Amino acid sequence: MKLRLAFLSALLFSLTAPFGHSAESEPVRDKNVEAQLISSHATIAPGQTFQLGLKFTIDDTWHTYWSNPGETGKPTTLDLTLPDGFTAGKLQFPVPKRFVVDYSIPNVMEILEAGFGYEYTVVHVVEVTAPEDLKAGETITISGNTTFLMCDPNTCVPGKAALSISLPTGSEALPSPHAATINLYASKVPEKVDWPTSVALEGGKVVVSVEAEAGKLPADAPLHFFPDKVHIFDQLSEPEITKDGGTVTFAFDKYEELESAPENISGIVIAETPTGKKGFRVSTGEMTDAPAAPTQDTKSESAAEPVSVPFGGGLIGAIIGAFLGGIILNIMPCVFPVISLKVMSFVGQAGEDRKKIFMHSAIFTLGILIFFWLLAAIIIVLKSLGHDPQWGFLLRQPGFVLGLIFVMMLVGLSLAGVFEIGTSLTGVGGNLVSKSGYAGSFWSGALAVLLATPCTAPLMAPAIAFAFAQSAPIMILIFSALGLGMAAPYFLLALFPKLLDMIPPPGGWMETFKQFMSFPMFAVAIWLIGVLSKQLNVAGLQWSLVGVLLLAMAAWAIGRFATPDRSKGARTKGRVFALVLLVLSIFFGVSAVKKRAPFESTDLTAIIENHRSSGKHVFVDFTAEWCLTCKVNERTTIKTEKVQQAFADNNVEFLIADWTNEDPSITKVLKEHGRSGVPFYLLYPADTSKDPISLGDGVITPNMVFDAINQVTGSE
């Protein structure tokens, strides 16, 4: 009996010897998806081309995405680190399935999004070539970082996995047990064909015609066409498909904003055959591979970490985060000055009837919403023109900064009594009791949005980053939630006007209080001048201040010579004089903003990696001159003696990533961590195999920094 068992064991060993190595990485599960690297060969020979497979095992009801994920998805990426001499091709995407995801909110709105992806199991194949001088008898290791987005019908969650596979080398290549699986999914990658293809816009239809090679498409097979890019078809529409001999025509409803036929189009024609789906890659221009993530020693923006959204992820989580972030935004330093305007408004409303108070708050909310919608529209237009705007992008334009200084000066001078804007801007001029000030409530809301553009608040930042990656309707929806959150505290006062009873009755004290409230406006103007000092050269800053001076003189001229107690002729002369000063101030302002300070971008990623390679931890302060929250954090936490000493004591290199002016290298790192604005704080461990620690994007404390340092140093 023992002899028989020994014989069977030896036979089993001899049969499995070629597969002695597992040819697979340890599986890594992230929430609803398990990721693993598998190899077509168990032993690698010199000069051999073999295949790696990025295998996803996906939970029921969940899916991942194709290279064109649709309106709201994210394509899977793989970043490989290869041994010296090895090369890798692109990550391949098998024929996908079309999904329709329902983000509708019952009884509120219906939002459906179409995307393309995979369910249950998928393997993305990568071809790898070994060098000719590869030595036998060694073991090579290939590691990879993958990012993906996993979705079910209700939510989406970002995922990632760090994978590593080790393979022995030999004089002869030996296949692995995974060879059949990899070959199966490699056969599902669409075949590149040179079939004549055309695209045209016919009324409301985008018409794609493909002249297929005879015998390639079964006559009775259901057909589909999936494009490589979004915003060409209405991806929720079903195409009209006609066949004329070997020519197949797909007529889709056009994407609503498409005005002319695209110059080129590429995608895959899919035939559903009895043996499965067969894909053919076609193009109106030169044939190229499908857009794919890089796989060899690169980290492009396409491989950026997907945005992590709180409250379960997806659209609902982004809406909740935006709403709560909007509420918190009211107590952020950058929006504080607007609170003074609203305080003045509430002072004027004390003792008024409930209906009037409610109308003020409703119009204030409308002002916030309209300007958030306007901001969203600007972002959508810039994105359609190929730009990549980020939160706070307006404050990187010196013309916008100077315009905001002009507004702050006018509001401050009006509050101080130099002249009266009346109800046209602040709603707190002159007779605060008798005037309705509805226009003032509207413009107070608008001004709140303008001052909020450089700020991010807890929960708001990931929601905004999510919005920037979505289609126009979803971006507007999230910006609306942000605006409603920002207006919510004031609406609460409107719903419970008894809270205003704490304010003393109207009287002479109100004029003193109004004048005192001018100083926060002047403080904002001083802050913005500091922003200009980083954006303009000395001459530009001087001429911009001349423009501010002339604007103040124009306001003084109105208040001195154009008041109702003056004669008609004197008022006319005063207004003409003020208009001349205003025109001169605008002329000097326009001239000033063209005198930009010299600016040189740096490679932030390279700097961080250089410090880490020398054994240092790296703390990065993502900041900007226009970010008041950043400045508060610097003075109360980051640049305090205790925190700086903690950096020195624990081998932490302190870096400032100044985003005052557009810097692509800073933008790239922010996007990799799902952020579209500042402040933001990262502590990179010296160990490059470990991910950085995020301290968030709001107000931080010294203890938060100390805790992060303890994590990377292993201290208690």
- Would the pLDDT of 12 be above 50? no
- Would the pLDDT of 424 be above 60? no
Percent of the chain with pLDDT over 70: 77
Give the mean model confidence (pLDDT) for residues 655-680. Answer: 81
Instruction: Please indicate whether residue 645 or residue 5 has the higher confidence score (pLDDT).
Output: 645
For residue 422, the model assigns a pLDDT of 44
Percent of the chain with pLDDT over 90: 27
For residue 299, the model assigns a pLDDT of 37
- Structure letter (DSSP) for residue 691: P
Pick the CATH number of 20-179 from 1.10.3470.10, 3.65.10.10, 3.30.70.1350, 2.60.40.680: 2.60.40.680
Give the mean model confidence (pLDDT) for residues 540-562. Answer: 91
- Would the pLDDT of 393 be above 70? no
**Alpha-carbon distance values, 271 to 43, 221, 278, 650 (Å):** 36, 6, 5, 61
The winner for highest mean pLDDT among 223-227, 372-376, 593-597, 623-627 is 223-227
Give the mean model confidence (pLDDT) for residues 132-139. Answer: 90
For residue 404, the model assigns a pLDDT of 80
Helix axes 314-329, 472-495, angle to 10 degrees: 40
- Would the pLDDT of 679 be above 80? yes
- Would the pLDDT of 705 be above 90? yes
Give the mean model confidence (pLDDT) for residues 122-127. Answer: 95
Condensed to tens digits (0 to 9), the pLDDT of residues 179-220 reads: 889 988 999 999 999 999 999 988 888 899 999 888 788 878
What's the chain's length in residues? Answer: 716
Listed range (150-164, 434-448, 653-667) with the worst mean pLDDT: 434-448
Pick the CATH number of 604-713 from 3.40.50.920, 3.90.480.20, 3.40.30.10, 3.40.50.970: 3.40.30.10
Q: Which residues contact 449 (CB under 8 A, 6 or more apart)?
A: 367, 368, 371, 372, 375, 483, 486
Closest CA to 643 of 689, 556, 588, 707: 707
Question: 124-148 b/e with 16+ CB inside 10 Å = b?
Answer: bbbbbebeeebeeeeebebbbbbbb
Condensed to tens digits (0 to 9), the pLDDT of residues 234-266 reads: 877 788 998 887 889 999 988 877 778 888 889
Report pTM: 0.47
The overall average pLDDT reported for the chain is 79
Closest CA to 144 of 76, 75, 81, 57: 81
Structure tokens belonging to residue 572:
């006319």
- Would the pLDDT of 289 be above 60? no
| Residue 71 CA from chain centroid, whole number | 14
Condensed to tens digits (0 to 9), the pLDDT of residues 310-336 reads: 544 557 777 887 888 778 777 665 565
Listed range (117-126, 354-363, 533-542, 559-568) with the worst mean pLDDT: 354-363
Question: 650-663 b/e with 16+ CB inside 10 Å = b?
Answer: bebbebebbbbbeb
Condensed to tens digits (0 to 9), the pLDDT of residues 74-87 reads: 899 999 999 989 99
Condensed to tens digits (0 to 9), the pLDDT of residues 80-108 reads: 999 989 999 999 999 999 887 665 555 54
For residue 40, the model assigns a pLDDT of 93
For residue 254, the model assigns a pLDDT of 86
CA distance 313 to 597: 41
* Angle, CA of 607, 691 and 647, to the nearest 5°: 60
Please compute, for residue 95, the number of CA atoms within 13 A of its CA located in the half-sphere on the CB side.
21
Give the mean model confidence (pLDDT) for residues 547-574. Answer: 88
Structure tokens belonging to residue 563:
């008041």
Give the mean model confidence (pLDDT) for residues 276-298. Answer: 67
For residue 331, the model assigns a pLDDT of 66
Give the mean model confidence (pLDDT) for residues 616-635. Answer: 86
Q: Which H or E element spans position 652?
A: strand 652-658
β-bridge mates for residue 336, sequence order: none
Q: How confident is the model at residue 7 (pLDDT cuts 50, 70, 90)?
A: very low
For residue 501, the model assigns a pLDDT of 63
Tally Cβ neighbours within 10 Å of residue 331.
12
For residue 442, the model assigns a pLDDT of 79
Complete edge-to-edge strand list for the sheet that includes strand 266-273: 191-192, 276-283, 266-273, 223-227
Class of domain 195-283: mainly beta
At 598 the three-state DSSP class reads coil
Contact of 682 with 695, CB cutoff 8 Å: yes
Q: Which residues contact 85 (CB under 8 A, 6 or more apart)?
A: 130, 131, 133, 134
Q: How confident is the model at residue 545 (pLDDT cuts 50, 70, 90)?
A: very high
Instruction: Please indicate whether residue 233 or residue 584 has the higher confidence score (pLDDT).
Output: 584
- Would the pLDDT of 432 be above 50? no
Contact of 395 with 578, CB cutoff 8 Å: no
State whether the Cα torsion 321-326-327-332 is positive or negative: positive
Contact of 476 with 371, CB cutoff 8 Å: no
Q: How confident is the model at residue 385 (pLDDT cuts 50, 70, 90)?
A: low
- DSSP assignment of 362-408: HHHHHHHHHHHHHHHHHHHHHHHTT----TTGGGGSHHHHHHHHHHH
Q: How confident is the model at residue 360 (pLDDT cuts 50, 70, 90)?
A: confident
Closest CA to 116 of 291, 287, 312, 299: 291
Give the mean model confidence (pLDDT) for residues 59-71. Answer: 87
CA distance 125 to 52: 6
Condensed to tens digits (0 to 9), the pLDDT of residues 458-517 reads: 556 666 666 766 677 888 888 888 888 888 877 777 677 666 666 666 666 667 877 887
For residue 19, the model assigns a pLDDT of 41
The winner for highest mean pLDDT among 4-8, 299-303, 670-674 is 670-674
Instruction: Please indicate whether residue 447 or residue 588 has the higher confidence score (pLDDT).
Output: 588
β-bridge mates for residue 596, sequence order: 536
